[in-house]
Structure 1
Amino acid sequence: MKIKTVEVDGKQYAEIQDGKPVYIEDDGKEVAFDAVGTRNTITRLNAEAKSHRERAENAEKIAKAFEGIEDAGAARKALETVANLDAKKLVDAGEIEKVKGEISKAFQAQLDEANGKATTFEQQLYAEMIGGNFARSKFIADKLAVPADMVQATFGRNLKIEEGKVVAYDGQGQKIFSRSRPGELADFDEALETLVSQYPHRDHILKSSDANGGGARDSGNPNGAKGNFGGSKADRVAAIKAMTANT
């Protein structure tokens, strides 16, 4: 990684883009380095590390209260026995179990209902956050020759919702981070661009000018993005389905 320079009156100066110095990565991609954002990220990560350390220290203090208890199951059973002995003063032990069963059934019904609502909500949230990003993607509109729903069918499995945010993972299961904002996760379009660049059949889904740039080759179709991939939307959808079915 090296800084990009321009020559003015025989002198070399760093190229600036939006107030940020431009660097050239090993793969030739130019990235405007956000020094302020990087510093803020380092500060935030240091604060998070301190918070994790403090939580670990508190956990160790709590654990000391249970020193000497090697069998957690036996300890729990002993506590239940004591609870039942106290309750026997009021009702027979058999009645206690009956009451416990009724309470358990009622609670389970409420739990099942809550789980059902949570599942529905998660599905709606996924459809809006994941599907909505594909539908509104400028990268798809500008760079890809296939419709957003086909792109989602191919790359949707690489996206998850974590803590209310869309997080992208590459083919090795690693989170995709931003090149221009070190330490920060890539936004949707930047992550999708990375996923497409790693896709073996990217030449088939990129628009012709992008598929032919950067030394890209189409080993599976000697005509590149011609034929069905250059036809109507229906032709492209059928072609991409046939292609992905064989991978």
Structure 2
Amino acid sequence: MDLPKPPSSRLDGRRALVTGASSGIGLGAAVALADAGAHVVCAARGAGRLDEAVAAMAAAGYGVEALPLDVADLAAMEAALAAQQPFDVVLNSAGMGRHSPALETTPEDFDAVMAVNLRAAYFLSARAAERMMAAQVRGSIIHVSSQMGHVGGVDRAVYCASKHALEGMVKAMAIEWGGHGIRINTVCPTFIRTPLAEQTLKVPERRAWIESMIKLGRVGEIEDVMGGILYLASDASALVTGTALMIDGGWTAH
């Protein structure tokens, strides 16, 4: 009997771009991909913190380099991609949240969130896929979305709108690019203990509500997201595209 061969989660010889890589989930993603053997180009706006993260990864023996970049600057983003070899994996973790009651949302806050969470994600995907197609790379594009791309949240109307739109964008792009062997998916974490989430988690009543909604009973850690990212980046998910991987402790099952 011929037994099926398990797919590999290794990324040896592949190049990966990670945006928002200087901290939080983006840094965790960069480490996960590098640990699997990929050479990782870490992109982020803040050069100082980015250099610190890349130095720490290099000291750990990972293949890594820094790319200071604001993905919301579309001209700079397109120029940066054009100057690089085509990537096998693109992991977009750049994101923004400006939370407020819907009646208090300003046009400036709306535009700022959409510029990063949707507009930048859209054109990063398109330009990365374009480069993959030209080089005949069967690549994987992954966006860090959110459980809030599937449910609503108090004071998060703009954030939810941006993530719901991101989920629809990914489905449409998956249909368009599947014939080229390019996969595009999202990971959708619940509240993860990062600097961005601390402003919410430090409020006792908010934290109690969050923990009651997460059926596994705890706030997520960065390590909880790393495995899902590695899965979507690797051949282990070779038939997965246009879908959302929920890493929410059961929140959206409620």
State the structure with more CA Rg: 1
TM-score by length of 2: 0.19
Higher relative contact order (CA 8 A, sep 6+): 2
Higher helix share: 1
